[in-house]
Amino acid sequence: MLLLDRGASLPEQLLLGAGTWVLLVALLRGETPLVRAQTVVVIAFATLVEYTFSPLLHVYVYRLGGVPAFVPPGHGLVYLAALVLGRSTFFARNARPLVLLTVVVGGAYAVRGLTPLAPRPDVLGFFWFCCLLGFLRWAAPGCSTSARSWW
């Protein structure tokens, strides 16, 4: 959607949003009621964050000013993708190196956003990366122990 949105007008962006919602709903049909509810909570929280940080606080601004229509369901798709990948045998067997790879690559990208090498400063990205580190460090007891033990 991000690539399609690069030159999209507002009506085209709304169409991209509708397509994203259709895809998300279609994928959620095969999930349990619990996963559907979790996805709704993720979308609600992420939408609140998007509207707080973008149009309200102007921490970042989208190309057409408002939050694009595909962003809220896009957060749901990202959550669902992470959940599906996390359930896979490959990710279960390789949790430690995958978490470590995510921390190294994500950390390098987050730190880059604080340097003159970045096309634009990204302090918020670094903040969210630090939140990820906190979630990994102090994961709930029910979380994967391999994800928590990378420390």
pLDDT surpassing 60 at residue 147: no
Mean pLDDT score, 30-36: 95
* Domain end among 87, 120, 141: 87
Q: Work out the angle at residue 13's Cα, subtended by the Cα atoms of residues 61 and 132, and round it to the nearest 5 degrees.
A: 50
Q: How many CB atoms lie within 10 A of CB 123?
A: 10
Q: Which of 72, 87, 102 is the last residue of a domain?
A: 87
Same domain (yes/no): 81, 10: yes
CA distance 63 to 8: 10
pTM confidence score? 0.77
Q: Where are the alpha helices (DSSP H) in 6-59?
A: 10-28, 33-51
Domain span at residue 81 reads 1-87
pLDDT beyond 70 at 146: no
Locate 142 and state its tokens: 């029910």
